[in-house]
């Protein structure tokens, strides 16, 4: 039988379970999609009961697989989401969606009470994001749904709820608490004063270390089980274990998130206004992050280009980097004001002025890169000297983006980087020493270097 670790990777859309062998190769994978339901206010939310059933049933299934010996289990899940349970670990409320509208009057009164938006946000490294600040979601329940609040023994972040289903252990984890929850005071490295003053602290399970495990009996004997990790922090782990020199991980998808684990300078008011926040690693190290809605912008604009030039929507995947086109694109970003709500200058440009799809696409990417440089520089301020930028996700596979990014940072090495199932793998790596008899693998990250043309 092959010794393996089982990893539950719970995304908003896909719920997956993986088995990794000791070389961190995926030897089994199963996934499901669950239909959202409505909470008592009519807002869409995750069906926590369907999710609970799937986790328990899939765990039964993997225990029956004769070729594998499950020696460890860990969990990663999306953040900003709390499961409210009673003393038996049963949910007593819906798994409220982090996009749920937040009462403006309650938010206003809260910040006035605790010293204003800037002060609280700087201390908690959390921009004001309404229900996306999970601590504020719990505060809303306390104030507006007291009958629900009374029933709660613990409010667990989603990774710790999934871990509870498998371990019976109530816990809180620093990677979930430290991610724009408004709960954690980064200046004190403890819960913020308001958490104690409002009586919220009593609803939060004891903090346990995310790189420790609990021995749990299953059908085939004992396994080592982790308490779970927030997905953004988990995805960083393969890089942190492989690279000791300061780097930035630019994680690209719908959002492009610049993560700098080597910057522990406090967030400034200006950085908070520009969508910066801090994460915490499983080792309790602050990670400064900035966000840009770049993937979404790209998706919208390539639809317009395809329509105008009569090309398929995915035609951009055939476009090769052309240094001559790149040198001809407009660089008027600092002379033209960006309309409010607009992510780049490109929507203000006249598509008909471009002679080809390729020319227009190079302009679009130049406009995105200009904004990306501004966003990434926010996490370079006050940092140790960064030697490398690793780009993972969609833009890492885009040669136009990668070449332009390398040109924009001529003094930093720029790499396209990919890790197979980085979030799940990072979650497995976090408890490596507890289950794996082999050394950490040296080649889990695929890198492609992009040389600056400047």
For residue 275, name the pLDDT band (cuts at 50, 70, 90).
confident
Res. 362: pLDDT tops 80: yes
| Structural domain spans, the chain | 2-227, 231-418
Q: What is the mean pLDDT of residues 255-281?
A: 90
Percent of the chain with pLDDT over 90: 87
pLDDT at 166: 95
Percent of the chain with pLDDT over 70: 100
CA dihedral 364, 369, 371, 374 (to 10 degrees): -170
Q: Which CATH class is domain 231-418?
A: alpha beta
pLDDT at 452: 92
Res. 13: pLDDT tops 90: no
317: Cβ contacts below 8 Å, ≥ 6 apart: none
184-203 pLDDT per residue, tens: 999 999 999 999 999 999 99
pLDDT at 255: 86
Q: For helices 104-113 and 134-144, what crossing angle results, to 10°? A: 110
50-78 pLDDT per residue, tens: 999 999 999 999 999 999 999 999 999 99
pLDDT at 335: 85
**Measured distance CA(314)–CA(121) in Å, rounded:** 40
Res. 303: pLDDT tops 80: yes
What are residue 104's phi and psi, to 5 degrees? -65, -40
Is 231-418 the same fold as 2-227? yes
**Residue of 454 and 323 predicted with greater confidence:** 323
Average pLDDT, the chain: 95
**Measured distance CA(69)–CA(221) in Å, rounded:** 10
Report the CATH fold assignment for 2-227. Answer: Nucleotidyltransferase; domain 5 (3.30.420)
380-426 pLDDT per residue, tens: 998 889 999 999 989 999 999 999 999 999 999 999 999 989 999 99
pLDDT at 339: 87
Q: In angstroms, how far is CA 437 from the centroid of its own chain?
A: 29
**Measured distance CA(136)–CA(143) in Å, rounded:** 10
pLDDT at 220: 77
Res. 454: pLDDT tops 80: no
Which of these, 152, 8, 173, 168, lies nearest to 83 by C-alpha position? 152
For residue 308, name the pLDDT band (cuts at 50, 70, 90).
very high
Q: What is the mean pLDDT of residues 229-254?
A: 92
pLDDT at 52: 98
**Strand partners of residue 277:** 289
What is the per-residue DSSP string for 422-446? HHHHHHHHTTHHHH--SPPPS--SE
Q: With H, G, I as helix, E, B as strand and everything else as coil, classify residue 257.
A: strand
């Amino acid at each position: 039988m092959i010794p393996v670790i089982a990893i539950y990777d719970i995304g908003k859309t896909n719920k997956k379970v993986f088995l990794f062998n000791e070389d961190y190769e995926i030897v089994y994978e199963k996934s499901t999609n669950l239909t959202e339901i409505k909470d008592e206010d009519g807002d869409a939310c995750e069906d926590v009961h369907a999710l609970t059933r799937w986790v328990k049933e899939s765990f039964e299934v993997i225990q029956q697989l004769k070729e594998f010996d499950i020696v460890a289990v860990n969990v990663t899940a999306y953040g900003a989401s709390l499961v409210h349970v009673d003393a038996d670990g049963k949910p007593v409320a819906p798994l409220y969606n982090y996009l749920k509208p937040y009462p403006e009057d309650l938010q206003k009164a809260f910040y006035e009470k605790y010293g204003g938006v800037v002060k609280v946000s700087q201390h908690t490294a959390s921009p004001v994001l309404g229900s996306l600040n999970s601590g504020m979601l719990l505060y809303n329940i306390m104030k507006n749904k007291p009958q629900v609040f009374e029933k709660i023994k613990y409010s667990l972040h989603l990774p710790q709820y999934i871990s509870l289903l498998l371990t019976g252990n109530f816990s809180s984890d620093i990677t979930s608490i430290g991610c724009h929850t408004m709960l954690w005071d980064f200046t004190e490295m403890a819960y913020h004063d308001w958490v104690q003053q409002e009586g919220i602290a009593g609803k939060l399970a004891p903090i346990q270390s995310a790189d420790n495990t609990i021995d749990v009996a299953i059908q085939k004997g004992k396994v080592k089980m982790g308490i779970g990790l927030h997905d953004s922090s988990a995805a960083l782990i393969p890089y942190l274990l492989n690279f000791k020199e300061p780097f930035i991980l630019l994680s690209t998808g719908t959002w492009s998130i610049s993560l700098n684990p080597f910057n522990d300078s406090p967030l400034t008011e200006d950085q908070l206004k520009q969508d910066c926040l801090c994460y915490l690693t499983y080792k309790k190290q602050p990670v400064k992050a900035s966000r840009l809605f770049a993937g979404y912008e790209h998706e919208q604009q390539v639809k317009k280009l395809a329509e105008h030039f009569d090309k398929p929507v995915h035609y951009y995947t055939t476009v090769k980097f052309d240094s001559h086109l790149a040198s001809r694109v407009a660089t008027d970003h600092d002379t033209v004001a960006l309309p409010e709500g607009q992510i780049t200058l490109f929507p203000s440009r006249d598509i008909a002025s471009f002679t080809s799809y390729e020319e227009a696409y190079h302009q679009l990417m130049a406009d995105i890169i200009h904004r990306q440089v501004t966003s990434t520089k926010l996490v370079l301020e006050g940092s140790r000297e960064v030697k490398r930028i690793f780009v993972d996700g969609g833009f890492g596979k885009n040669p136009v983006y990668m070449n332009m990014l390398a040109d924009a940072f001529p003094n930093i090495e720029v790499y396209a980087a990919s890790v197979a199932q980085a979030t799940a793998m990072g979650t497995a790596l976090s408890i490596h020493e507890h289950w794996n008899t082999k050394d950490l693998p040296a080649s889990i990250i695929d890198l492609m270097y992009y040389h600056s043309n400047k």
